[in-house]
Amino acid sequence: MEKIPAHIAIIMDGNGRWAKAQGKDRCDGHIEGVVSVKACIKAALKRGVRYLTLYAFSTENWGRPQAEVDALMQLFCASVTKETPELVEQGVQVRIIGRRDRFSEEVRERLLHIEESTAGGNKLTLVLAFDYSSKDELVRATRKVAEMVQNGKLKAEEIDDKIISAHLDTADMPDPDLIIRTSGECRLSNFMLWQASYAEMYFPQTMWPDFREEAFDKALEVYSERERRYGLL
């Protein structure tokens, strides 16, 4: 493979449709989706991808039926706890982006625990977007920058794209080179709108629970054939 993206961000979509097609409950799709998460982490490590961002729960997902929200929260808690030792062994550092204030104390603690336990990982940064949306992130960043102006720490005319980037949840991470959304939907749904400026997009038909190593490698192959010009000739 010629060009390996430093940062791949994935909108994991299609768990519900996958489950329905199998005559199963939607939550079975999410459970099978965790197997794909593990497969993609392994594939990313194998191929030398440095950052892997996964959109696990959007700010809009709170509007799903309470039973599904509860099941997802339980799945996150169980998965992050169960997988922490293996992630440490693999050299994976976990970072969480999004809001924290709407989670239960238990979820907040587990998220903090996985971040602290994996802080020494230096092979792959796994960025989990939980209660994340891009507009919410931009609003929070804008408030922080406005406060700096209000407190006289920054002049309005000094605000540039670097200042904005530095106040996003993704500060000090490279922008994604490749954004993948599974299940054939072709939209970003409030995900990394600022960071996506020059990302390549890939929308495979594969449902997330079927997105394993082979599908990951196919995405790398598609990316390596793209020509990125960044607005130049």
State the catalytic residues. Answer: 13, 61
Stretch that binds ligand FPP, among 12-20, 38-46, 105-113, 210-218 (CB under 6 A): 12-20
- Rule CB under 6 A: say whether 87 interacts with ligand FPP: no
**Composition of the chain by helix, strand, coil, percent to 5:** 50, 15, 35
Minimum CB separation of residue 76 from ligand FPP in Å reads 5
The side-by-side arrangement of strands in the sheet containing 7-11 is 92-97, 124-132, 51-58, 7-11, 178-181, 200-202
Burial readout 96-120 (b: 16 or more C-beta within 10 A, e: otherwise): bbbeeeebeeebeebbeebeebbee
Q: Which of 12, 71, 87, 168 binds ligand FPP (CB under 6 A)?
A: 12
Residue nearest to ligand FPP (CB): 16
Does 15 sit near ligand FPP (CB under 6 A)? yes
Residue of 9, 10, 30, 87 interacting with ligand FPP (CB under 6 A)? 30
Residue 44 within binding range of ligand FPP, rule CB under 6 A: no
- Cα 55–Cα 61–Cα 66 angle in degrees, nearest 5: 135
> Does 110 engage in binding with ligand FPP (CB under 6 A)?
no
Under the criterion CB under 6 A, does residue 13 sit at the interface with ligand FPP?
yes
Residue type, position 21, single letter? A
